[in-house]
Amino acid sequence: MKKIVLITGATSGFGKAIARKFAENGYDLIITGRRKVLLEELARELITDLNVEILPLCFDVRKLKEVENAINTLSEKWKKIDVLVNNAGLAVGLIPINEGVIDDWERMIDTNIKGLLYMTRMVSPLMVSRKQGHIINIGSIAGREVYPAGNVYCGSKFAVDAITKGTRIDLLPHQIKVTQIAPGAANTEFSLVRFKGDKERADNVYKGFQPLQAEDIAEAVYYVTTLPSHVNINDLVLMPTAQANSVNFLKK
Ligand code: NDP
Ligand code: 8X3
């Protein structure tokens, strides 16, 4: 029987590349996100190219009722989730704390922390009942080192780090693997979202150096699922060679 991976935030960036990588390796996929058209487009693409089964589920991870409904109404086949990739997330704004926009803070906290928690709360019991599964949380270098004006986004990713460690402890008796992948700068829709559609500012983030590509993260996520059952990667920090930490870049 084919394995099943559930990927949140599969409409662009890492999530989309992760979906393709698992589909290429024979998994059936549950892909999620808010943009229905993009989800369905990806589903069609992967079904045609790779002959896999795809279940696109359009919902907002910030809304507990939507998350509950999505998971509770899965058929028995789709409830057998082998891998959950908690990827959906965003930064909104890059502003000193004293000028911060409360709505931006709430979007980040609700998506990056509470959304990840809601997904984990709903999917982990399914894994516990089967005594198998792997939860992969997408953290960030921003969850290791705070940078100027990163305040709440960094805080949300530090929370992902702590929640990942806590999840690993709590799921230890049930033999569920828990991994955090923490990337540095990668050229996706991330900066476009952070700067609220300002493309010039977004493009500027990646000028003068080679950032990570979404496919690099997909490789890492898939790799950690290929190890023998007695081996788990707890934590993987994945950086562009031209980025030493949150603030030091080698730019041409
Ligand atoms: P993208 O903006 O390209 O993708 C983000 C994805 O998250 C989209 O598919 C989006 O789908 C989904 N998403 C956002 N909010 C919600 C929501 N409320 N409900 C459901 N889905 C949501 O960015 P990335 O691929 O770069 O980001 C993926 C993850 O990686 C994030 O957690 C980010 O913090 C993290 N990260 C990114 C880095 C980077 O430099 N790019 C580096 C380190 C970590 P939709 O809009 O359709 O809902
Ligand atoms: C995204 C990477 O450094 O822009 O998490 O915050 S960073």
Distance 1 CA to ligand 1 centre (A): 30
**Which ligand gives the minimal distance to the CA of 90?**
1
Q: Which H or E run contains 7?
A: strand 4-7
Q: Is residue 174 in some structural domain?
A: yes
- Would 67 be classed as within a structural domain? yes
122 inside domain: yes
Mean pLDDT, to the nearest integer, of 237-251?
98
What residues have CB less than 8 Å from 23, skipping those under 6 apart? Answer: 29, 46, 49, 50, 52, 54
Query: Cα–Cα distance between 212 and 137 in angstroms, integer?
Result: 18
| Within a domain: 82 | yes
- CB of 87 shorter than 6 A to ligand 1: yes
Distance 85 CA to ligand 1 centre (A): 12
Would you place residue 27 in the very low, low, confident or very high pLDDT band (cuts 50, 70, 90)?
A: very high
Q: How far is the CA of 189 from the centre of ligand 2 (A)?
A: 12
The confidence score (pLDDT) of residue 80 equals 98
Whole-prediction pTM value? 0.99
Identify each DSSP E strand in 21-127 by its residue range.
28-33, 54-58, 83-86
- Indicate whether 190 belongs to any domain: no
User: What sign results for the dihedral spanned by CA atoms 118, 123, 126, 129?
Assistant: negative
The finding on whether 212 has its CB within 6 A of some atom of ligand 2 is no
The Cα 233–Cα 181 span in angstroms is 9
In-domain check, residue 192: no
222 catalytic residue (yes or no): no
pLDDT digits (tens, 9 = 90+) for 216-228: 999 999 999 999 9
CA distance 103 to 109: 10
Enumerate the β-bridge partners of residue 58.
33
Q: How many domains does the chain have?
A: 1
The verdict on residue 244 lying in a domain is no
DSSP three-state, residue 52 = coil
Structural domain containing residue 164: 4-185+213-238
- In a domain? residue 198: no
Q: What is the CATH number of the domain that holds 45?
A: 3.40.50.720
Confidence of residue 1 (pLDDT cuts 50, 70, 90): confident
Confidence bin at 165 (pLDDT 50/70/90): very high
